[in-house]
Amino acid sequence: MKSRELPLRKKGNRRLIMISEFLLEECGRLKLNSQQIQENPSILQEAHIYLQPGKNQDGYWTNEHLINQIQIKVIPIFEILFPNCIGLFAFDNSSNHAAFKSNALVANKMNLKPRRKQPKMKDTIFRSNNQHQSMINDAGEPKGMKQILIERGL
């Protein structure tokens, strides 16, 4: 172990905390100063979010948490700090890289037969022949993979 490194410690029974923060090269943490807070009382003053994952806590970080943080905190604060600028946000080391909209067409979320646990997915159009494909059956339930393949002639 190098002299500047901390030793790895075993996990304990203590609570975990997860922090999502936005850092900017120009000003560090994305937050308003006291004057900006007074001038904009309806805007939250800091962009960070704290979650306590685990049983009976806030749950684990999800795509919905990120979207909520950006819409309610990050963009309003950014617009006050940098008027007439366009923000470009880059995300790394996040489980949100694999996040999809709740109705996105994701084959591995489909069941073989229609069941309620399967999410309702948006309709699509196949580019090869410009044919519309509905993902919902006549009963209003999501179609299963088998039905989609039958309708596609496969």
In three state form, how does the secondary structure of the chain look? CCCCCCCCCCCCCCCCCEEECCEECCCEECECCHHHHHHCCCCCCECCEEECCCCCCCCCCCHHHHHHHHHHHHHHHHHHHCCCCCCCCCCCCCHHHHCCCCCCCCHHHCCCCCCCCCCCCCCEEECCCCEEECCECCCCCECCHHHHHHHCCC
Q: With 70 as the cut, is the pLDDT of residue 123 above it? A: yes
Q: With 60 as the cut, is the pLDDT of residue 1 above it? A: no
97 or 73: which leads in pLDDT? 73
Instruction: Note the pLDDT of residue 143.
Output: 87
Mean of pLDDT values over 132-153:
86
In percent, how much of the chain has pLDDT > 90?
12
Q: What is the residue-averaged pLDDT of the chain? A: 80
Mean of pLDDT values over 100-119:
77
